Amino acid sequence: MEYNKKNPLRVVTLCSGYDSQCLALERLKTVYPEFDYELVAWSEFDPESTAPLQKQPAVIAHNALFPQWKDRNLGDMTKINWKGLSLQCDLLFYSTPCQSISSAGLQHGFVEGSGTRSSILWNVRDAVIALRPKFLCLENVKSIINKKFLPTFNLWQKELASLGYINFCKILNAKDYGTPQSRERLFLVSVRANGQESHFYFPSPIPLKSNIGELIEKKRVRCV
């Protein structure tokens, strides 16, 4: 399938934040001018905020970057009735919370039904069942596959496999892809098999051509 201006990639993002995923797709459009996508729905909601949804910081940031899609925020992803929506989705991004997994947190885990922030990962299943995206992509901290959390992560992979997806998993470091920062993150890419063998290859590292000092200097010069 070729995705272009006549047939844009239909994207849904969960726990969207300001949507770095869409920023990446925007960058892809500059490299491949014929490529295009549409954010058919997104979900951003801060359960700890007392502000109305449209006044929450992440929602404000998202609307500033992508004002054309400000009316497509579905809010709290744990309360979305996916079956009641008439959405078509090719690619589902779900960068669910890492607070209960990260080594910087209390590490309460993400067992289904545990009620931790990170356990809302399991609510993604409803979206997958209803939308049947061709591709899924999870991004999270690398500690999600440490000894303590690996059994739960493997259960999630088995869940996706039972829904007909083939999983490809790897830890990538931002410094290997043009960013002068060591930032390791786990990526789980799942491809709907449709009874056929599927292949996915993570990108090969590229040489780092700049350092943080150079970036700061360029920014300083622009501000002068």
Q: How far apart are CA 79 and CA 91, in angstroms?
A: 21
Centre a 10 Å sphere on the Cβ of residue 31 and count the other Cβ atoms it contains.
7
Cβ atoms of 169 and 188 closer than 8 Å? yes
Which residue out of 22, 98, 169, 223 is catalytically annotated? 98
89 is catalytic: no
User: Residue 104: CA atoms inside 13 Å, Cβ hemisphere, count?
Assistant: 5
Q: How many residues does the chain have?
A: 224
Q: What are phi and psi of 40, to 5 degrees?
A: -75, -25
Q: What are phi and psi of 19, to 5 degrees?
A: 75, 65
Q: How far apart are CA 143 and CA 107, in angstroms?
A: 10
Across-strand partners of 187? 139, 170
Cβ atoms of 116 and 152 closer than 8 Å? no
- Read off the DSSP letter of residue 73: B
Give residue 134's Cα distance to chain centre: 15
Cβ atoms of 16 and 96 closer than 8 Å? no
Which sequence positions are flagged as catalytic? 98
